[in-house]
Amino acid sequence: MYSRRNFLSSAAAFIAAGVVSKAGAATLPEAPLMDKADTQPPLHPPNGRPYYPVVTLNGWTLPWRMKNGVKEFHLIAEPVLREIAPGMKATLWGYNGQSPGPTIEVVEGDRVRLFVTNKLPEHTTIHWHGQRLPNGMDGVSGLVQPPILPGKTFVYEFVAKRSGTFMYHPHADEMSQMAMGMMGLWITHPNDPKQHRVDRDFCFLLNAYDVDPGSSTPRINTMLDFNLWTWNSRAFPGIDPLVCRQYDRVRIRIGNLTMTNHPIHLHGHEFVVTGTDGGWTPLASRWPEVTTDIAVGQMRAIEFDATDPGDWALHCHKSHHTMNAMGHNVPTMIGVDQSAVIDKITRLIPDYMVMGDTGMADMGAMQMPIPENTLPMMGGEGPYGSVEMGGMFSVVKIRKDQKPGDYTDPGWYQQPEGTQAYEWTGEPLPTTRAPANAAAPTASETIMLDVKKGGAHGEH
Ligand SMILES: [Cu+2]
């Protein structure tokens, strides 16, 4: 799971160069490296105070070392190759081998020391979004600290004062570094593990990239028109399902580091927002929702009881955010009969293909030739065909027989007899239908008008 390669090479190099912490550490803590984009099992704390760990979607939690009662972490800012979904890898910047970086989990009241080594070609810093900390630990380059130059290691140290859901990201050349994927989650667990207790606690960040089809490096100057809408730098069908046991209390923590808001929608269950990056919401402020809008720079923790077994969609409700690259510059062809011009066009452009004249659903099913290292606009094979989704989409899989603490994918849900939509096989639709906007009302419409005239409103 972790590799010591990074630790051995970097630590040895920096110790040899005499770069050691002013905080008294003789050696840098290990900087474990993750080489997979799969969701890793929760990291149960091997030392320190107890807590119930989170599960980072397509991510992992950074191990630490305890040093005289201080939790020490080592983040390495570096270029990474991140698999966005099977079939596409992006050249990003991240931490410890992946983008986003590993999740940091601590307990309210923990003293935390974070070593940040810069292996990027330019300077960086880390800002600890949402934390109460000494001003000089806030990570804003130029304002509260000098930048961390390439090859250098800085030390941040503070007490995690408030439990909740937070994130970290650079506050130096932010536009480039966040567009390249530099970010991570930070969870501060309550001092009392019984407080805010849930059975499953998932977390992920919303991020977005603009990678030209056939290339692998994001265009960092893009302001709004991104073509990869991702959760933890993964696009559907590359996003793992959120696996739950029936009747579990489930929390999903979501942070938004894109350039636009994302209304996140859950099917089949209602939830309440129980936390923001400002803390836990008061009980009296909670109301039921099935969609919650997460604005830029915000975090939301939602909670629900997983009462109903099934494969329930969880997705951004902006429909353009549930598709991958290739979709946005295609003209709308619905209702256009291209058969008359297709011969002429193919004489000019031999590989021109007719598409979109009945909608774009064909795009989900067809295996059309696309440039290398490019995801289909939408896809994802379900048990009944193409799911016709991409981007910010996943599935909450609720099963009766899923074991507590088991996150393995149970496969597709078997719909119980009599509970699934089915095809009508009775009398077919008549071939002629009365137009709804006909000048003369039909017999039934006349009756409707008569009823209305004779009703209570006629007396006014
Ligand atoms: Cu969205």
pLDDT digits (tens, 9 = 90+) for 213-232: 888 999 998 888 899 999 99
216 alpha carbon to ligand 1 midpoint, in Å?
22
328 alpha carbon to ligand 1 midpoint, in Å?
15
390 alpha carbon to ligand 1 midpoint, in Å?
11
Measured over the CA atoms of residue 281, residue 200, residue 294 and residue 92, the dihedral's sign is positive
Q: Residue 166 sits in which domain range?
A: 2-303
pLDDT digits (tens, 9 = 90+) for 90-149: 999 999 999 999 999 999 999 999 999 999 999 999 999 999 999 999 999 999 999 999
Q: Is 243 among the domain residues?
A: yes
- Predicted local confidence at residue 323, as pLDDT: 87
320 alpha carbon to ligand 1 midpoint, in Å?
8
144 alpha carbon to ligand 1 midpoint, in Å?
33
Q: What is the mean pLDDT of residues 358-363?
A: 62
262 alpha carbon to ligand 1 midpoint, in Å?
4
Q: Is 97 among the domain residues?
A: yes
346 alpha carbon to ligand 1 midpoint, in Å?
37
Q: Is 130 among the domain residues?
A: yes
313 alpha carbon to ligand 1 midpoint, in Å?
14
318 alpha carbon to ligand 1 midpoint, in Å?
5
- Predicted local confidence at residue 379, as pLDDT: 80
169 alpha carbon to ligand 1 midpoint, in Å?
20
Q: Is 19 among the domain residues?
A: yes
Cα–Cα distances in Å, from 136 out to 155, 158, 187?
Answer: 11, 10, 21
Q: How confident is the model at residue 373 (pLDDT cuts 50, 70, 90)?
A: confident
249 alpha carbon to ligand 1 midpoint, in Å?
25
CB 230 within 8 A of CB 82: no
Count the domains in the chain. 1
Q: Is 282 among the domain residues?
A: yes
In this predicted structure, the answer to whether residue 450 has a pLDDT above a threshold of 50 is no
- Predicted local confidence at residue 367, as pLDDT: 52
Q: Token pair 């160069």 is at which residue?
A: 17
- Predicted local confidence at residue 443, as pLDDT: 53
Element (H, E) at 255: strand 249-256
404 alpha carbon to ligand 1 midpoint, in Å?
31
398 alpha carbon to ligand 1 midpoint, in Å?
24
Name the amino acid, one letter, at 91. Answer: T
- Predicted local confidence at residue 51, as pLDDT: 98
The whole-angstrom distance between residue 373's C-alpha and the CA centroid of its chain comes to 21
Backbone phi, then psi, for 336, in 5-degree steps? -95, 120
pLDDT digits (tens, 9 = 90+) for 314-355: 999 999 999 887 555 555 666 666 666 667 666 766 655 555
**Confidence (pTM):** 0.83
In this predicted structure, the answer to whether residue 438 has a pLDDT above a threshold of 90 is no
263 alpha carbon to ligand 1 midpoint, in Å?
6
420 alpha carbon to ligand 1 midpoint, in Å?
29
- Predicted local confidence at residue 374, as pLDDT: 85
Q: How confident is the model at residue 21 (pLDDT cuts 50, 70, 90)?
A: very low
238 alpha carbon to ligand 1 midpoint, in Å?
16
55 alpha carbon to ligand 1 midpoint, in Å?
22
82 alpha carbon to ligand 1 midpoint, in Å?
21
Q: Is 183 among the domain residues?
A: yes
Q: Is 335 among the domain residues?
A: no
- Predicted local confidence at residue 16, as pLDDT: 38
Spell out where 130-191 has E strands.
Answer: 153-159, 164-169, 184-189
275 alpha carbon to ligand 1 midpoint, in Å?
20
- Predicted local confidence at residue 159, as pLDDT: 98
Q: Is 172 among the domain residues?
A: yes
Kindly report the CATH number assigned to the domain that includes residue 253. Answer: 2.60.40.420
389 alpha carbon to ligand 1 midpoint, in Å?
13
